Amino acid sequence: MESNNFKLLPSTSPLLRQVCREVKPDDKIEELISALKSICAEHHGAGLAANQIGSDLRIFVLNINAFDVYINPQIIQKRSLSPFFGEGCLSFPNEILCTRRYEEVVIRADNCEEKTLTGLEAIAFQHELDHLDGITMHDRSIV
């Protein structure tokens, strides 16, 4: 069930092309994080970025094995760029694209120590981080 203050925005929303602002200590993010998890689960997503539901903060969730929240995330290192077939997005329902993504990334976030992600988790992290930078999967499409 979507939160009263947040909802999945249409693909035409200008917020999807906006670079999100860094989360500051005084930003209230509890309701946003709850909405990200709820909406992501409701739509069976692998991840969801704040700007996809109406916030301009640098936060996203991944839902691969369990929910992980990333606040002010960044990629420290990238390894093994290759084609990825089958990238989808909750903001572009019923669209599947072929993109180029790194199979392994070293990441960190304000709420997460540096760690290495691989496979689908690495690809989803890159996809959601792109959202926070105003980039969609269409910008990464190789076909």
CB 52 within 8 A of CB 91: yes
Catalytic pick among 95, 103, 121, 128: 128
Residues with Cβ within 8 Å of 20's Cβ and at least 6 positions away in sequence, in order, are 49, 50, 51, 55, 56, 57, 58, 131, 132, 133, 134
> In the annotation, is 128 catalytic?
yes
Tokens of 9: 């925005």
List the one residue out of 98, 66, 95, 67 whose CA is nearest residue 84.
Answer: 98
Tokens of 107: 């990441």
Catalytic positions, please?
A: 128
